[in-house]
Structure 1
Amino acid sequence: MHIIRALLPGLFNKGVNYLFPPVCGNCDCAIWDNAGICPNCWKDLTFISGACCKLCGYPFELSHGDDLVCGECLKSPKKFDQCRAALVYDVFSKDMIIGFKHADKTYLRALFTQWLSLCGQDIINEADFIIPIPLHRRRLLKRRYNQAGLLAQGVARLHHKKYTPDLLLRTKNTSSQGQFSMSGRWRNVRNAFVLNSKFKDEIYGKHIVLIDDVYTTGATLDSCARTLKNAGASTVSAVVLARVTKE
């Protein structure tokens, strides 16, 4: 009897997958398990590993040591202490991430959470708080969920860390960053975030880890980190799903 009960969930899931096969989160073709992505799409993804900027995580083609800093960080230092990204944001990963963000493909969270955990394990292990980049309440009502919140919650559960989605508040209903130039992105998110007053006595001297989906210029992470540092946080790090790289 115990063996039958143990087998039932697996048999049920196989039956559901047979009648309603899961689909690839990128190309929408049917797949025979819940991996999230089919093998053909998987092989085209570029994961970031090896040498990278010790501050922003920008990947380098060649390794010349562990303390390398990219030209952008030397020219314009960020307020966050370090950032790591799981993969490159390109034509092969773009549709998958946009689908997760805007097209209700929330089933990809389990897979994305694993990727975030692998690329940012050292950072996450030292975290006192795991928080998402917050959405403005109007944007949240329209979208119905915060994709960064889903990722942050998954990472916090996986690492048994404190998930605090309302530690930062977005008080400025900023326009989408995609429509701005590089300098425009920085202006767009300037002073867009504030610390939730109920946490003002809890974050002093703490290590806070921000979770987001895509790193483009670092403007949003920088603005959040500035707010947290001004409120007393000692370290602000970030782990993102993907980042834009220059050709």
Structure 2
Amino acid sequence: MKEQIKKVYHLALNILLPPRCSGCGNPTIGIHIFCGKCWSKVHFIQKPCCHHCGMPMPYDIGSPTCVTCLTVAPPFEAGRSATRYDGMVRDIILKLKHCDATYLPPSLAGWMAQAGQDFWDKTDYIIPVPLHRWRLMRRRYNQATLLARALSQRLNLPLLTNILIRSKLTESQGRKTRQERRKNVQAAFAIQDPKGLLTGKHIALIDDVWTTGATLEACTTALKKGGVEKVYVLTLSRVVKE
């Protein structure tokens, strides 16, 4: 009976307030966040890609590892991203970060769950990349936490939000080079784990955008210093330079 009431409620709600595309604002069918036209502008990352960091490759080069990872292997075990950071995805991430579009994560988490499907049977906890407390007060929410929470609920995996902290208020990473980004976030993260929950565990580290990987690598380093055995990185999108 409860399920029938819920179906009637959602049907009535869709009639009174029809769902609209998060991209262009036109009506959409069902629970989809995009209309067909905007959906075609979402560029999902597919194989071939680096088996270590997940960077898409233009073609199969015969090696499963990209040049960057061969030169300096990142500290995490593997990384994946659902989409490229361009077009429609860039627009909705900016809405999520700056325009209070907090209704988006449950839908976006579906994309991320698919992208990280090789991680979930090995994951003990999901942890978001944290904001510094002052930045969190100003923004009021952390978009990485919203995505991580939606993933946790979808996958029935425990979420930890107060163990990995941003202990240093850093400058904005925007417009910084790769080396400047690494220097900026060096020693910016710390672990508060008095109960030893992380010791020997495997963590899925969640963020919205992967630019150079400097923040993700700094978080991974902090997690492993705190006793984590393996870290799998997953982001909604990734900056891909052709």
Q: One-letter code of the match for 1:167? A: I
Alpha-carbon distance between aligned partners in 2 of 1:246 and 1:119, rounded to the nearest angstrom: 20
Alpha-carbon distance between aligned partners in 2 of 1:45 and 1:141, rounded to the nearest angstrom: 31
2:103 match: secondary structure: helix
1:215 match: 210
1:177 match: secondary structure: coil
1:48 match: 45
Gaps of 5+ in 1: none
Alpha-carbon distance between aligned partners in 2 of 1:123 and 1:63, rounded to the nearest angstrom: 23
1:232 match: 227
CA offsets 1:107-136 (integer angstroms, 9 cap, x no match) = 111111111110101112211111000111
Alpha-carbon distance between aligned partners in 2 of 1:136 and 1:70, rounded to the nearest angstrom: 32
Q: How many correspondences in the alignment? A: 242
TM-score (norm 1): 0.91
Q: CA RMSD in A?
A: 1.7
Alpha-carbon distance between aligned partners in 2 of 1:223 and 1:86, rounded to the nearest angstrom: 21
Q: CA deviation at 1:230?
A: 1.6
Alpha-carbon distance between aligned partners in 2 of 1:91 and 1:209, rounded to the nearest angstrom: 26
Question: Are 1:140 and 1:146, in contact at CA under 8 Å, matched by a contact in 2?
Answer: yes
1:241 match: secondary structure: strand
2:10 match: 13
TM-score (norm 2): 0.93
Alpha-carbon distance between aligned partners in 2 of 1:24 and 1:245, rounded to the nearest angstrom: 25
2:194 match: secondary structure: helix
Alpha-carbon distance between aligned partners in 1 of 2:16 and 2:179, rounded to the nearest angstrom: 50
Q: CA deviation at 1:189?
A: 1.0
User: 1:13-162 maps to which residues of 2 (within 5 A)?
Assistant: 13-64=10-61, 68-162=64-158
Q: One-letter code of the match for 1:42? A: W
Alpha-carbon distance between aligned partners in 2 of 1:71 and 1:28, rounded to the nearest angstrom: 41
Alpha-carbon distance between aligned partners in 2 of 1:33 and 1:100, rounded to the nearest angstrom: 21
